[in-house]
Amino acid sequence: MAKLWGGRFTKETNKQVDAFTASIGFDRQLAKEDIEGSLAHVQMLGECGIVSTEEAETIQNGLKTILAKIESGNVEFLTEHEDIHMNIEKMLIDEIGAVGGKLHTGRSRNDQVATDMHLYMRKKTKRLIELVEHVQYALLSQAKENIETILPGYTHLQRAQPISFAHHLMAYFWMFERDKDRLRDSLKRINWLPLGAGALAGTTFPINRKRVAELLDFDFVYPNSMDAVSDRDFVVEALSICSLMMVHMSRLSEELVTWSSQEFQFVELDDAFCTGSSIMPQKKNPDVPELLRGKTGRVFGHLVGMLTVLKGLPLAYNKDMQEDKEGIFDTVNTLEGALDLLAPILETLTVKKDNMRKAVTQDYSNATDMADYLATKGLPFRQAHEVTGKVVLYAIEHGKYLLDLTLDEFREFSSLFEEDIFDILAPENVMRARHSQGGTGPDQIKIQIQLAESKL
């Protein structure tokens, strides 16, 4: 089969080389972006008199016909034509004749593919922003239901201090808020237009890059043609933002797995989002959070893969850069799938408030408040800490929790203890007392929730 670049060649390409170098198997996903870019390019060629207005129109109509055919699944992409760009150009020439060959005037596949990738990243970044907001809405609505739901807060996975479940969930809200911020910020750089850079050095034709930028809604034209065709920073950035988003989803997933275990029994995942065991009839497995956690690995892999592809490349375009695609496509698909499931999992989560509440009566997570109590009465905090530590040790040795002790027992350790210590140590009061800005006290959570709502 004749190649579009076949003029200089005397032999057919080795079949294995065709298969090895072709990207059509995956870059067919860029068909729409490729045609979008071509439509703007040829529009500009017509306006600048580089092709005639009629030719531009014929080419545009041809491209639209091809897009419709692709969308209806009515085309066959050929490995011999290597990639989406040449497959579409070949289809165009077949569709409208030799004039189709004028489309590639003043451009190269190098600035073309870079433009396609920018258009793809823009579309997908906007989609990810939407999806992460769905997760934020889910977190927010669970949080609103659980402002007064008390459970142990942990450090080192040891019971630390009682907190509100809303507070715990809202911590994730803010992680996703930063992710959203990063995605939005990345759009600034995604919105740089490479088209018009040619192969690497610009073009001899009197093109108008600003006009193409306007047609494709880009904010900025790459000022350097070599940078334009060899830049994949925006892909690395997307992979890095997605990696961090996976970290956040993975941490939350880990909590869901733990909380839904027999040992914790703090939450129950909806049946619709769990799976069973082929042998153990009693099992209800949290496969989805587990897979969210597991898929984090492949996303990190794609980030490292892309950084590695780029690190030794001389300017400008190198075929290595074709390796930018599968990783980012897989990453975006993974993120879309993950975010899309996380939102309903959170929405349908059953919160076992009684179990959470019970947990804080069976631990020493109110000990800090005893130390604070003594410190408020004038004992230096370090001494208050020491006294409280001794009370905790005494309680453990006697198989009791702090609230099981009598006032007389307390007073053995310090004469500062009075009847009000029992109120101070009640888990609800322990939680409520943390009303410093950003703390777990209900008044602070309400302020936090208000602020969160203003971000959506």
Of the residues 156, 278, 436, 454, which is catalytic? 156
Nearer Cβ to ligand ARG (36/83) = 83
Examine the residue annotation and report whether 134 is marked as an active-site residue of this protein.
Answer: no
b (16+ CB within 10 A) / e for 105-129 = ebbbbbbbbbbbbbbbbbebbeebe
Site for ligand ARG in 72-101 (CB under 6 A): 83
Q: Binding to ligand ARG by residue 225, rule CB under 6 A?
A: no
Nearer Cβ to ligand ARG (107/122) = 107
Whether the Cβ atoms of residue 111 and residue 228 lie closer than 8 Å to each other: yes
CB under 6 A: which stretch of 105-113, 211-219, 263-271, 366-374 binds ligand ARG? 105-113
Query: Within 13 Å, how many C-alpha atoms sit on residue 270's CB side?
Result: 11
Site string for ligand ARG, 15-44 (x = CB under 6 A): --------x---x-----------------
Least CB distance from residue 112 to ligand ARG, whole Å? 7
Of 321, 342, 351, 430, the one binding ligand ARG by CB under 6 A: 321
Quote the CA–CA distance of 400 and 393 in Å, as a whole number. 10
User: At a CB cut-off of 8 Å and minimum separation 6, what does 185 contact?
Assistant: none
Q: Binding to ligand ARG by residue 113, rule CB under 6 A?
A: yes
Least CB distance from residue 74 to ligand ARG, whole Å? 23
CB under 6 A: which stretch of 31-39, 60-68, 170-178, 318-326 binds ligand ARG? 318-326
Of the residues 52, 141, 261, 277, which is catalytic? 277
Quote the CA–CA distance of 308 and 323 in Å, as a whole number. 10
Examine the residue annotation and report whether 277 is marked as an active-site residue of this protein.
Answer: yes
Nearer Cβ to ligand ARG (156/319) = 319
| Residue 348: other Cβ atoms inside 10 A | 15
User: At a CB cut-off of 8 Å and minimum separation 6, what does 338 contact?
Assistant: 246, 249, 292, 295
Whether the Cβ atoms of residue 346 and residue 256 lie closer than 8 Å to each other: no
Nearer Cβ to ligand ARG (285/318) = 318
Quote the CA–CA distance of 96 and 9 in Å, as a whole number. 26
Q: Binding to ligand ARG by residue 121, rule CB under 6 A?
A: no
Residue 49 gets which letter from DSSP?
T
Least CB distance from residue 336 to ligand ARG, whole Å? 22
Query: Total binding residues for ligand ARG by CB under 6 A?
Result: 10
| Residue 219: other Cβ atoms inside 10 A | 12
Nearer Cβ to ligand ARG (107/109) = 109
Quote the CA–CA distance of 245 and 296 in Å, as a whole number. 9
User: At a CB cut-off of 8 Å and minimum separation 6, what does 293 contact?
Assistant: 249, 250, 253, 254, 257
CB under 6 A: which stretch of 280-288, 295-303, 315-323, 413-421 binds ligand ARG? 315-323
Pairing mode, if any, of strands 150-155 and 158-164? antiparallel
Of 165, 173, 176, 317, the one binding ligand ARG by CB under 6 A: 317
Contact residues toward ligand ARG (CB under 6 A) are: 23, 27, 83, 109-110, 113, 317, 319, 321-322
Q: List active site positions.
A: 156, 277
